[in-house]
Structure 1
Amino acid sequence: MTAPDAVRHLRVSTPVDVALTLRPLQRGAADPTVRATPQGVWLTRREPAGPDAVHVGAGPATLLVSPAVRAPDGAGGWSITARAWGPGARAAVGNAEALLGLADAGWPQFDAVADPSADPPGVGPPLPAHVWRVRRLRPGLRLPAAGALATQLMTVVLEQKVTHDQARHGWRTLVRLAAAHDAEPVPGPAPAGMLLPPTAEAVLRIPSWDWHARAWVQPSQSRTVLEVARRAETIDRLGRDVSPGDTAGLARLARRLESIPGIGPWSTAEALQRSHGAADLVSVGDFHLAQFVGQVLTGRRTDDAGMLRLLAPWAGHRHRVVRLISLSGERKQAFGPKLAPADHRRY
């Protein structure tokens, strides 16, 4: 492995599960921009210029975040190493804390509210024991704040009202099609097949026929992705103006993003959960989520309104609750036939 252009050692006092925390950023095992390996999690990134047009650390980067290990010789806590290659290496390791959700101070507050064994009890109703058990078994779970809001929105749009396979194929193909128009090499020793996230300019140069014929992307989705690409600079600037812990600011940002044609509450929640670690935004409108949340919390399926009522006692932490529910091991009840979408790529 070639020597990295930047290295940062993070010392943390609480456990951090790097792979579990960064998993929401990976769109399937074959995602060209995120790869989990025994060495750690690899991510390709495009680091923006800093404030006042300072370009130190701007540019493409490959980032490797190694698993947390116990700090040596009784120093206490855990150590995480972030290594990066490329022009954006310094910025990539500098953003590692946010990426891993280490700046999120909300977990202790959540624990005080939700712990069913707290004495005295928390200020709100505790979580059901089988959901709280996930918190005890997965203490290293964090909410990632990866930045790059416009890119996160593009990936989410490709997941609107389609199957898992369609969404994953659409993102992989979009990255590859964009790379063909912006053949910038991936810095450093990234695993084979990894590519940089697409630039807005490269997305706008993809021919219209490739969206449906090669990427398996519906016309409504491609129109929205192109609209996000046209507004990418503004979207990313708005994203940088709001800190991950600003719950009210994130709610206002979500409403602004929903003014973009084709972007609704589900899309903004999913994007901001990944770009900012939005701890309170719930993915309203998800085909399965409300039913599953109702099933896990009450034993009965529910709709979006019912889900929001069930999650209301944990206001400020509702996405944390949903993440724990997703890791509970309980399987969603399945009813009816599965969707078999038409695939026009072969024609």
Structure 2
Amino acid sequence: MKTVLSLPAHYDFAGTLGPLRVFPADPAARLTATELWWAVRTPDGPATLHLRRYGDEAEATGYGAGAGWVIDRATAIAGLDDDVSGFTALAALDPVVRRAWHDRPGLRLTRTGRLFVHLLPTILGQKVTGKEAFRGYAKIVRHFGEQAPGPLPGLLLPPDPARIAGSPYWVFHPFGVEQKRADALRRVAAVADRLEAAPDAAAATARLVSMPGIGEWTAAEVVRLGYGDPDAVTVGDYNIPHHVVYALTGAVRAGSRESAPGRYSEADLRMLELLAPFTGQRARVVQLLTATRPAPPRFGPRMPIRSFARF
């Protein structure tokens, strides 16, 4: 199944679709400057969406039982339903944001309509380094995954939630995933259908944060992709508050990262204070700042890469 999408002026193909690829060697996605292969499980069955850009158009091709589902939602997945009207005036409130929007006016927020495909890597990214998270994610996809529909060899479907939910913790141990994250993953997998049925970002967020092991950080990361929520700002992240504060003020640190249940860290509070004028579009502002402005200088040793997979 195919359709042709009209692209807006300055459309940023790789920048918009980049979040659908968890990391460069993602077994379930391939991305270049003009082409995306994305495997996903839909309500109609497994599917692969292939987007190929040709100038100011993109050809969308669907494969598998869910081909019609991904084609029907190709414009949303590509971020073409993202409403940026009025954002130019809002960006003018701050010269740094105005410049970032001028530099990357083609960035859009994707809306996939799925949650579990994003919950998997996001839960694995809780409280660990990116390398640890990516390594565990790739191993889990390869262990549970199946060949995705379509002609691209080696492209794998994300795991079936039912198989994740039905697997005991010890299955995940060799992948470097400790019991806390494994249990959180198994819990959301067991109710994936109910989570996917949430009518909007607010309802999805409420359902997610009501579950043990799922906090605001995880919920925001997931609903921003699943629902294209332009205000789903991430709190509790190790790097984002420092990046935002450095971009907007020049301060190399946003504040202490220490937090507690029900209490934001100083760094999160400072970030939220600076983003308050952009309420309703805070996630878009963060997207622009992280895409266009350098990260603050790092101090001290890097977090160690750990693994207990062999023990």
* TM-score normalised by structure 1 residue count: 0.82
- Ranges in structure 1 where 5+ consecutive residues have no aligned partner: 1-5, 49-57, 70-77, 116-125, 243-249
Q: Which residue of 2 aligns with 1:65?
A: 51
Partner of 1:177: 143
Q: Secondary structure at the residue paired with 2:53?
A: coil
**Contact 2:132 2:306 survives alignment (8 Å):** no
Runs of 4+ more than 4 Å apart: none
Partner residue, 1:7: 2
Answer whether contact 2:14 2:33 (CA < 8 A) is retained: no
Contact 2:48 2:148 in 1 (8 A): yes
Which position in structure 2 is the counterpart of 1:23? 18
Match for 2:189: what amino acid? A
From 85, 105, 113, the counterpart of 1:108: 85
The equivalent residue for 1:227 is 187
Aligned to 1:282: 233
Cα 1:170–1:32, aligned 2, differ >3 Å: closer, same or farther? same
C-alpha distance in 1 between matches for 2:33 and 2:8: 23
Q: How does 1:221-260 map to 2 (within 5 A)?
A: 221-238=181-198, 241-242=199-200, 250-260=201-211
Question: Which amino acid is the alignment partner of residue 62 of structure 1?
Answer: T
Letter aligned with residue 253 of structure 1? A
Offset, 1:256: 2.7
Of 95, 117, 133, the residue aligned with 1:128 is: 95
2:151 pairs with one of 189, 192, 195: 189
**After superposition, where does 1:73-152 map in structure 2 within 5 Å?**
78-105=56-83, 107-115=84-92, 126-129=93-96, 131-152=97-118
Q: Displacement, 1:128?
A: 2.4
1:319 aligns with 2:283: yes
Give how far 1:133 is off: 2.6
The Cα RMSD (Å) is 1.7
Paired residues of 1:63 and 1:92 also in contact (CA < 8 A): yes
Measured in 2, the distance between the counterparts of 1:95 and 1:25 equals 14
Question: Tell me, what secondary structure is at the counterpart of 1:274?
Answer: helix
Amino acid across the alignment from 1:100: A
CA contact (8 A) 2:204 2:223 kept: no
Task: Mark the CA change 1:14 to 1:38 in structure 2 (over 3 Å): closer, same or farther.
Answer: closer
Per the normalisation by structure 2, the TM-score is 0.91
Deviations 1:35-86 (A, max 9, x none): 11466010012221xxxxxxxxx211121111251xxxxxxxx211101221
Instruction: Judge which range, 137-146 or 223-232, deviates more.
Output: 137-146
Q: State how far apart, in whole Å, the 1-side matches of 2:54 and 2:211 are.
A: 39
The one-letter code sitting in structure 2 at the alignment partner of 1:14 is A
- Identity rate of aligned residues, in percent? 36
My pick for the range that moved more, 132-141 or 90-99, is: 132-141
Summarize deviations over 1:177-234 as a string: whole Å, max 9, x none: 212xxx4x421112x3210111111212434323122x11121100100000111110
More moved, 162-171 vs 332-341: 332-341
Matched AA of 1:333: P
Return the alpha-carbon distance in structure 1 between the equivalents of residues 285 and 32 of structure 2.
Answer: 28
Instruction: Determine the C-alpha separation between the residues in 2 that align with 1:342 and 1:61.
Output: 35
Letter in 2 for 1:311: L
